[in-house]
Each structure stands twice: as structure tokens, then as C-alpha cells.
Amino acid sequence: YKTSVVKDAPITLKNENIFMGWYTTPDFSGEAVAFPYTLTEPTVLYAKWEERSDIPYIVEHYKQSEDFVTYTLAASEALQGSTGSLTQAKSKNYSGYHYKNFEQKQVAADGSTVIRIYYDIDSFMVIFNSNDGTNNTYNQVFFYNQSQKLITNRFTRSGYTFEGWATEINGDVKYKDSESVKFTLQNNTSK
């Protein structure tokens, strides 16, 4: 029988994977083959591959503009993952904003994956209570950090003159009728 010697390891490539060596078994048990390698019989060598875990992808965070139509890039993050695995994008906490649902994507081998997360301005309801006047209550929607005039008083109460709005029953007046206010939501105060 003949003996052959393979001087150098065959060169092989697999997109975005790391070559870990040549093995004589398909389950990669034992040691990797060292070269030069002596063959004494027909032999199959198996290439062992490991997925790269350093494939770049981008996560972009967009906050809704005051026009409530467009979005502005607020932050961009460069992350890494394995080819074909799902991204690990996470939303941020922006005061006065909430994120819209988004889906993770598979990490593309060429590093072209981009996840875009959009954040809308928070809104909340202010309830105006008549405090024993007519019509009981009415509501007005406000948006985080947006100047807006309070609705003009629509209530009447026999024997009383409207002086303004308080934040508790029989409390001191905090806002004048139709006053422009800006709510920040963080501590439910206005500016």
C-alpha cells in the first residue's frame, strides 16, 4: 500500500464563518488534524465551522417630532450578533415618549441589518370637573411638553363666579381660564 503526505491544510472558505480545523470524523471528536498529514488509506476530512458572533448590525431610535408626523433620529447603536441569529435590539426610556412595537430581524452576514425603533409622544387626558356646577365634567387631551391652552370654562354654578382651575376640590387656583400650559408628565406638574 502507498503512503501519501498532505503538506499544507487545504484552504476553504464559508461565508461569515470561522474555520476551526480539519477532522477525521463528522462529529469533530478528537484532535484536529495537524499538517503535514500522512495518509495510509483513503480518508475523508471534515471541515469544522463556527458561526461568527461579531457580525455588526445597527439599532436606530427615532423620536416623534412636534408636528406629530415626522421622526428624528435620537440615537444609533452598533451591536453584534451571529449570522442568521435574531437581533437583540432593546427600546430606550425617553421621558414623555413610548416606543411603538418593533420586530427583531435575522442578522445578515454582510452586516446590512438595521432595526428602527420609533417613539411617539405621550398623550394624556385632563378631566375638568364642575365642582357641583353644571355639566359635571369634560376632557381635554394634552401631549408631553407641548404648550396648549386650557379649554375655556363651560361650567356655571348658581351664586358663584368662576375664578380659575384648581387641582383638588376647594383648592387654590393654579391655572387661569384658557391659560397656556405645558405638562411634563414626570411629576404631573406644568410650566
Q: What region, left, alpha or beta, does residue 54 occupy, with left being phi > 0 and alpha being psi -120 to 50 degrees?
A: alpha
Cα torsion for 174, 179, 184, 186, to the nearest 10°? 20
DSSP annotation of 16 reads T
Distance CA 128, CA 137 (A): 5
The confidence band for 48, taking pLDDT boundaries of 50, 70 and 90, is very high
pLDDT at residue 2, as a whole number? 79
pTM for the full predicted model? 0.67
pLDDT at residue 185, as a whole number? 63
Mean of pLDDT values over 134-156: 88
Mean of per-residue pLDDT scores for the chain: 88
Strand partners, 116: 60
Cα torsion for 75, 78, 80, 85, to the nearest 10°? 40
Cell of 75: 440615537
Concatenating the DSSP letter of every residue in 25-40 gives: STT--SPPPPSSEEES
